[in-house]
Structure 1
Amino acid sequence: MLRPVIAWLILLCSLFCVAGGAWLGLLGGSWFYLLVGLLLGVAACLLLARHAIGLMVYAVALVATLGWAVWEVGFDWWALAPRGGLLFVLGLLLLLPATRRGLRSTTSQIAYTGLLGLALLVSAGVAGYAWLQPQGINGAFSEERMASASSEQVAAAAVPDSEWHAYGRTAAGQRFSPLTQITANNVGELQEVWRYNTGQIRDAEDPGETTYEVTPLVVDERMYLCTPFGTVITLDPTSGEELWRFDPQLRQPPTVTTQHMTCRGVSYHDAGAQPADAAESGAAMSNAERLQLSTQEITAKAAGVAQNVAAGQAAPSDPNPRVRRDSGYANARGVCQKRLFVPTSDGRLIAISAEDGSICPGFGGDDGTVNLWANMPNVTPGSYYSTSPPVVTDKVIIVGGAVNDNASTTSPSGVIRAFDIYTGDLVWNFDSKKPDATAPIAEGDTYSENAPNSWSVSSYDPELDIVYLPMGNQSPDQFGGNRSAAVEKYSSSILALHASTGQVAWVFQTVHHDLWDYDVPSQPSLVDLTIQGQRIPALVAPTKQGEIYVLNRVTGEPVLPVTEEPVPQGAAEGDFTAPTQPVSAISFNPPTLTGKDMWGATLLDQLACRIQFQQLKYGGRYTAPSEQGTLVYPGNFGTFNWGAVAVDPDRQILFGMPVYLAFTSTLVPRADGTSRTVTKEGEPIINENFGAPYATSMAPFMSPVGLPCQQPAWGYVAGVDLTTGETRYQRVNGTVRDLAPLPLPFKMGVPGIGGPIVTRGGVAFLSGTMDYYVRGYDLRTGEELWRSRLPAGGQATPSTYLGADGRQYLVVVAGGHGSTGTKAGDAVIAYALPK
């Protein structure tokens, strides 16, 4: 019979709720689970004893749960669902004739059945009403605002409208295209035009964070992109046909110290587009007695080196050589006028011809390579390399680097360096532990170990001669008791350096004494804003903690207000917490979590999350890591990450993808400085913090069934007025189709990583969500207007351009992302309107 089965299921739920509810109550949480568990237990026992009154008791439990749920979370459907969903389904099963067969008292059974049916009907009505309630902020920009048009751009934005020359389209990092062919009215007609597969997909042999994060460049009817393995591929942007590829032949196989395999893009430079004296001034910065080689001799060398590289015969570089002082190529302008700079995961920066992929000799030597391990301390394979495309000026190329997070206190240096764009000679270096010593390091010396680094993408203003760098921290991220004053000053900051000298122009710190891995992950966007009739040279800087700072890019002073606000205190022994943190007028800091914000698929795993929540140390954002275990929210995944935001300079609108995902962070005391504490021998070295007092155990805050413990939505798209700081809309974004056990297209708002772009046509594009879609949005309202299914995770930033056929194209890379667990792939897909 069905009745005993259902009754026993109710009894099991009762026992879990009674035991868990008592535990939760003793921890300081809600006692309701204990009370509803007792009601369910009484109902189950009555039903097992064949008493029809058990139906009425169950109806009382259902109505009580509904009333409590609405009292806690209001009419939020996704918050109500786990509280009542399981009880509702069990109630429907109790209504079945097969379940009620055998119950005593036929007359009273009819009444009790009616009461249960009424309770289910009320529950369904409340659920239906909640389903129809809007989420987020559903505002819009005015039609007049959308009609705004301006021909004025910051100098760094001087790129042909039809092309995409840098990671953020221009050195200003706006991710804005002036193209207007695709609009909010016709974006729904976009269709796939071509698809190309690189042939390089991550597998089990590769590091877990092997990621396709590349934004393709489009210059002179050529598309340039790189794979996680450093291979540069050039395509015809109109047809998708491969023109050539360059394989750097990585010299370091992945080891336990390799955390990443990433290439966000290559950098492009056209020497022919620069004034003649620009090239000469670059050469003049080097040794005047360099050997002069003719263009023909250099070209001959280039051909020979390219053949050797193609054949795998290039000799490996010395892992820690002296800084080269005499390249032998004083004037390489005649060769590789159009060149690409390629960072590799084994610590090289290679210059190749943008025409045919051949080596550009003279940039660092015959092999066209600068060794980024030069003068580095603590050389360890895989522990340092540049993951992001460098900044190119008319004289130098400026390179930061990713240093392994939380591996050791004796990491390589996070030094930032500028190399002569033609010869590769070191021009200056910025070591944040020695900020005034920017002259090229002496031969035989090494940079400061474990100095804060700049791993993400930087921006550049040629008129001001300033490069803007998002800065990270020294390891470990979660313990700062041993940091020096110099380290503190430049950690988790926006750093403005004079591009010609490396001298500090200004620094703005986004987190004081960062203990949460809230390094600045995003490329700052440079934009001129008109506020109260005054034109202001501004910089827009998104952060992991959810603040978006709008600063004067000349002085570093806030354009929109920034206030210092008190934060939770109390740090691990030997450490401290800053008393306040800077909060911007544009803030996507979510409300502080409470027990009622815990979530799950059912009442049972939601209860488990509430128990976990009560056991963690948490007083809001900036609660310090602890041995007890701390809830970090927003987590180090970031409200914003390396994908940054897109800025429309005409309409002065910001379009972004704020993400909300809580993490846990637990400090684990180390027995000594060298033994593994949180990983096993042979596993990748992550969060061990060798040399520090603590290792760190970190993980997303998840329920026992693998769902986030905080209720949705976890991801949005948002539009912000940059002149006032007002968020005009914040719409739930993305479905759980590729996250749930069943491919259900519920629009719950999912996390994502990757960046958006916007166009003068009034459309924004984004592919970074953890469901496999690229989407088009109305920039005015944030409404999703179009989407197309991707074959793998699209955790990269798209680009758009004009093809040779006169059509505007959208291109996106779908290769997946190791740390998000999205499906791996190797697809490059282009879309356009029908001919």
Structure 2
Amino acid sequence: MVQKRTAQRIALVALAAVAGLAASPRRIHVDRGRGWPAHGGNAGHTQFSPLDQINRGNVARLAVAWVHHTGDARADDRSQIQCNPIVVGPVLYGTSAGLKAFALDAATGRELWTFDPFAGPGEQPIGVNRGVMYWEDGDDARILFGAGSRLYALEARTGRPVAGFGREGSIDLRQDLGRDVTGLHLVSTTPGVVWRDLVIMGMRVGEGPAPAAPGHIRAYDVRSGRLRWTFHTIPWPGEVGYETWPEDAWKRVGGANTWSGISLDAERGVVFAPTGSPAYDFWGGNRLGANLFANCILALDAATGKRLWHYQVVHHDVWDRDLPAAPILFSLRRGGRRIAALAQITKSAHVFLLDRQTGQPLLPVEEQPAPPSDLDGETTWPTQPLPLKPPPFARQSLTEDGVTDRTPEAHAEARARLRALRTGRQFMPPSREGTVIFPGFDGGGEWGGAAVDPATGTLYVNSSEMAWVLTMVPVPARASAPVGERVYVQYCASCHGIDRRGGSAQGQLVPSLVDVGHRFDSTDLVALIDKGKGTMPSFGFISDGEKKAIAAFLRGESASKGEEEEGEKVEAGVPFTSTGYNRFLDSEGYPAVKPPWGTLNAVDLVHGETRWRVPLGEYPELTRRGIPPTGTENYGGPVVTAGGLVFIAASRDEMFHAFDKRTGRLLWQARLPAGGYATPSTYEVGGRQYVVVAAGGGKMGTRSGDAYVAFALP
């Protein structure tokens, strides 16, 4: 099988070479400004292109130039493509629904090569991938990308693994973490950055209530894969920030990881890494303190990993307020001078604008009082930083005046439900009654990032305006429930729900387990719990007896005496878990808040003001009833161009849009073969400008797809 795949790759590359399309390792310099050489468009993640062939005057003529089908979407509509492809010279590099890396002729979409990291017996894709990295030195050009828990280095021309990199072309990201992470969730989802001969990476780890791996930021030698430096986001003894945690927290607390991308100031040799919350997301009684360097923007020396400065945007996070996207690096014009600036969007729909040399705010930020928690063992931080400018790009609280008025019945139902919940402001702590999180766990801002037009200092960002409800429940005591039920509540209920009816996490529907006993036998269930599948992480860290006990509980059976006894020996985890990731919806499944439910926003970063805000997407059936476009929840980000346009897909209605960047007026849209839940790329090849987006669907209950669709002028 391996020989067959290799032969296929060789044939494809030979064909590409004959056509003159093999990637030129020097073309990235020749075509600067015409390609899309990095995730986010460039090392500074501006998601801006100077191309203007497609512009306000002609965008209405945009048509499909080519479509590439990867052929590996899941039939159960549970796969996605979140990749922002890169374009170097005449070649586009991306990843598929099944996490295969590939190279295409950027002008035609013809496949040049494909590499499958999960081709081995019994292997299957775990997680998602949002893009790849490119590196070159003379004739040595490489594609680096993460799949599962490994980082791969491939020859850019052929797709073959680079033999001298790690072990046969890849390294195991579970190694060199300073503690045993066997069985814990750890995957690479978003590309890092390449600086000189280093590839600098974050990773996604578990968020609890299960144990989580540490969230170190690491740099590897791009040639050999050797670890060159490590930054501990949960400080070790003697390191700055150690005092903001309980003693020896670094040995047992996980998370505080950089999963959403890294930005690079290549001229200064500085990387900027956004970090997420510590685990467990919603209860921090075992990690009391401010918890540096969780929820921080970190400025690190790219050569050594030395901390230059940090800025924490949430203290002691118990709301899953990870920094969701890489910081945007740009020059801000103010008072006749240029300032090296950094803009960081947040899930709570704020923009922190900082001087990237010092980490000091360029617009005012105020530490505001935050309510205390009443959960046993928890002590929330007394204040939280909130920018006074620019205004948030989504609503900040939900009151009865803000519930849906779609129908009188929906309005009455939503008001009654809201009265039983805690609501009213940001940073209301998690509670047993249920706390409204608004904007929700998926933003506000999300991993699609924002775009900045460097000429005007305007930031363009899409936002979901969805309320979610976070309800905490105690984990059953040892004597009060069988081990299978207790372990299920501890580790599984936060996604599948206490009632096992499923829900939604990260925009993807979580399946019901009510009838799982009819679909899986005990052996298959234990294997699924042990290995994970797709976006479900592995629970390999729990004992075999616990896995069997969970399987028995889900199948309505009793665990054996041995399994019960084994479960009794296991150390108890955190005392609380949540009932799941629950959107605040009405009885027909629509958001139970007034529209807009999703928006595209233009924010003036020079003066700290909102320029415009428009709905993004629609529910066609509501529009047909005469309801103005409501906007929809959205995933994937915008691209802004010198042609006066903002391109974005992202919306639930599977449309790809072009807006006038000055006014927010919709100028063009086209239906995609599946939802475009990814950030587009734009580039020029052969004198023609293209805009391409992955149409992988699979979120918000929509169908999965396997397409990359490129548009150009006829």
Looking at structure 2, the residues matched to 254 and 364 of structure 1 have their Cα atoms a distance apart, in angstroms, of: 20
Looking at structure 2, the residues matched to 471 and 353 of structure 1 have their Cα atoms a distance apart, in angstroms, of: 31
Select 1:271's aligned residue among 137, 153, 171: 137
Corresponding residue SS for 1:174: coil
Deviations 1:431-487 (A, max 9, x none): 22235889xxxxxxx9765141111111011222111111012211111121154x7
Q: 1:341 to 1:794 in 2, by over 3 A?
A: same
AA aligned opposite 2:317:
D
Looking at structure 1, the residues matched to 653 and 80 of structure 2 have their Cα atoms a distance apart, in angstroms, of: 16
Q: How does 1:573-612 map to 2 (within 5 A)?
A: 573-584=376-387, 585-586=389-390, 587-599=392-404, 601-612=406-417
AA aligned opposite 1:715:
G
Q: How does 1:239-638 map to 2 (within 5 A)?
A: 239-249=108-118, 261-272=127-138, 337-345=140-148, 347-365=149-167, 367-376=168-177, 377-380=179-182, 383-408=185-210, 410-434=211-235, 450-483=254-287, 485=289, 488-584=291-387, 585-586=389-390, 587-599=392-404, 601-638=406-443
AA aligned opposite 1:675:
V
Corresponding residue SS for 1:262: coil
Check conservation: 1:720, 1:729, Cα contact below 8 A: yes
Deviations 1:731-783 (A, max 9, x none): 1221112x869899951111101110001111110011111111001111111
Corresponding residue SS for 1:188: helix
- Kindly indicate whether residue 697 of structure 2 is the aligned counterpart of residue 816 of structure 1: yes
Check conservation: 2:373, 2:430, Cα contact below 8 A: no
Corresponding residue SS for 1:605: helix
Let me know the Cα RMSD of the aligned residues: 2.7
AA aligned opposite 2:332:
L
Deviations 1:157-216 (A, max 9, x none): 997111000111111100000101111111111011111111010244x9x5x4211011
Check conservation: 1:175, 1:646, Cα contact below 8 A: yes
Residue 603 of structure 1: how far off its partner (Å):
1.2
Deviations 1:103-154 (A, max 9, x none): xxxxxxxxxxxxxxxxxxxxxxxxxxxxxxxxxxxxxxxxxxxxxxxxxxxx
- Kindly indicate whether residue 641 of structure 2 is the aligned counterpart of residue 829 of structure 1: no
Q: What's the TM-score once normalised by structure 2's chain length?
A: 0.79
Segments of structure 1 that go 5 or more residues without pairing to the other structure are 1-155, 273-333, 439-445
Check conservation: 1:600, 1:711, Cα contact below 8 A: yes
Looking at structure 1, the residues matched to 222 and 666 of structure 2 have their Cα atoms a distance apart, in angstroms, of: 43
- Kindly indicate whether residue 635 of structure 2 is the aligned counterpart of residue 753 of structure 1: yes
Q: How many residues align?
A: 596
| Residue of structure 2 in register with 1:134 after alignment | none
Q: 1:437 to 1:340 in 2, by over 3 A?
A: farther
Check conservation: 2:204, 2:257, Cα contact below 8 A: yes
Residue 404 of structure 1: how far off its partner (Å):
2.2
| Residue of structure 2 in register with 1:724 after alignment | 607
Looking at structure 1, the residues matched to 648 and 237 of structure 2 have their Cα atoms a distance apart, in angstroms, of: 41
Q: 1:352 to 1:470 in 2, by over 3 A?
A: same
Q: 1:732 to 1:197 in 2, by over 3 A?
A: same
Corresponding residue SS for 1:825: strand
Corresponding residue SS for 1:523: coil
Residue 602 of structure 1: how far off its partner (Å):
2.3
Which deviates the most, 690-699 or 349-358?
690-699
Residue 646 of structure 1: how far off its partner (Å):
0.3
Corresponding residue SS for 1:375: coil
Q: 1:192 to 1:525 in 2, by over 3 A?
A: same
Looking at structure 2, the residues matched to 419 and 436 of structure 1 have their Cα atoms a distance apart, in angstroms, of: 24
AA aligned opposite 2:424:
G
Select 1:775's aligned residue among 651, 657, 665: 657
| Residue of structure 2 in register with 1:224 after alignment | 93
- Kindly indicate whether residue 41 of structure 2 is the aligned counterpart of residue 238 of structure 1: no
Check conservation: 1:617, 1:630, Cα contact below 8 A: yes
- Kindly indicate whether residue 451 of structure 2 is the aligned counterpart of residue 646 of structure 1: yes
Looking at structure 2, the residues matched to 558 and 159 of structure 1 have their Cα atoms a distance apart, in angstroms, of: 35
Select 2:582's aligned residue among 699, 706, 721: 699
Check conservation: 1:168, 1:174, Cα contact below 8 A: yes
Looking at structure 1, the residues matched to 369 and 119 of structure 2 have their Cα atoms a distance apart, in angstroms, of: 48
Looking at structure 2, the residues matched to 158 and 353 of structure 1 have their Cα atoms a distance apart, in angstroms, of: 20
Looking at structure 2, the residues matched to 648 and 488 of structure 1 have their Cα atoms a distance apart, in angstroms, of: 34
Whose Rg is larger? 1
Q: 1:745 to 1:248 in 2, by over 3 A?
A: farther
Q: How does 1:636-715 map to 2 (within 5 A)?
A: 636-672=441-477, 675-677=487-489, 678=493, 679=496, 682=525, 691-697=573-579, 698-715=581-598
AA aligned opposite 2:233:
S
Q: What's the TM-score once normalised by structure 1's chain length?
A: 0.68
Which deviates the most, 706-715 or 577-586?
577-586
Check conservation: 2:97, 2:696, Cα contact below 8 A: no
Q: How does 1:2-401 map to 2 (within 5 A)?
A: 160-204=32-76, 208=78, 210-249=79-118, 261-272=127-138, 337-345=140-148, 347-365=149-167, 367-376=168-177, 377-380=179-182, 383-401=185-203
Residue 340 of structure 1: how far off its partner (Å):
0.3
AA aligned opposite 2:310:
V
Segments of structure 2 that go 5 or more residues without pairing to the other structure are 1-27, 240-249, 479-485, 501-512, 514-524, 543-571
- Which structure features the higher share of helix residues? 1
Corresponding residue SS for 1:658: strand
Looking at structure 2, the residues matched to 741 and 183 of structure 1 have their Cα atoms a distance apart, in angstroms, of: 28
Check conservation: 1:464, 1:554, Cα contact below 8 A: no
Corresponding residue SS for 2:354: strand
- Which structure features the higher share of strand residues? 2
